[in-house]
Structure 1
């Protein structure tokens, strides 16, 4: 007697995406292989996903170009500008949806200006505490969409260098230098002690600022990638 066939199982779109991701992971885990864009396009074609959608998704994951010159004194640039160009065009209704989402995407309250006809949008923040970007702008550029995120490290640098370097150099270096000069009867020896302590304070401030600045830049790059992913999902 023929065994009755089980009814075909159906999956939601979310379940299908999870299955495909899991299958791709299992298929490449043992070989530790990397997939090229062309290979991803072939895999996606079998799942009914267009090559253009794959390329857009890949663009949204690329590292943004960083503009700005690293400061030799501070160790990192005091201003950061991240730029991306996406193969996306937004309809006016999607531009409006993106405008509403900007505060959530950036993690704070800002002011949004968007121009439907020009396919242009800006998000700015007045409270310059340094933890969030100061401005995000996107505009149409020859059939592509240009995205720029601007942020400042000035407040962070001022706080660390003023607190650590000033505290160590002024709060510790001056008293030690003065006492050394008194006990050794040598102004130059006391000055040397002061300069040595001040140099150590500067080195400590530079290490702390460099580490904190890189962490902030990594968070801004993550926000930029998230923003580009949302723009890609809205694009037509």
Structure 2
């Protein structure tokens, strides 16, 4: 129990300090960008004061990240210990219940065992919540560090321990580019073909170049589109179309 109380106190201190650092680091770039530049620095002010403040915040953030990493590592053996205790109390609760049903154990003993089981479960739940919270804070601090890195050039790739960065060869936006795909399928196929980007897998118009040409010319009516059964993988269905296709059919070989 002493270890548990000490762990809860440590995580509160670490998380509060880390939250302050995270908020400060997130706000500094915005504040610096919004602050108007003075025409001349006041007398006695150092031109490098913003840089010095930023350096102090960086050091504080690094120190907080190290403290959180150490605390995160210390949670693992504690969590394992609580899980073992939970398993033990679960087994004891079953034994107590069996003895009570046989009449060899009093009801008060059974209730005491149930309270011990509830406490063991609470200890496990608490330590898991602490671990999840620390992981979330560490991810947020990592995101801030990534945000301060230089942007990659178009098509650039960078791999470091714990992080892989890639900037695609062309810009992509769900809001702008998905409608382009939709318009492409609607204008190239007659009747219009539903875009798979929106999650449609029931309908298929895949049957080789000739079949796609028929669809583009409008030779294949909507009622004769192939329908993929729910229990058949898409790739297997496409292969069966290619296998079964014969000249003169909707999906010629």
TM-score normalised per structure 1: 0.28
Greater relative CO, 1 or 2 (CA 8 Å, sep 6+): 1
User: Which is helix-richer, 1 or 2?
Assistant: 2
TM-score normalised per structure 2: 0.27
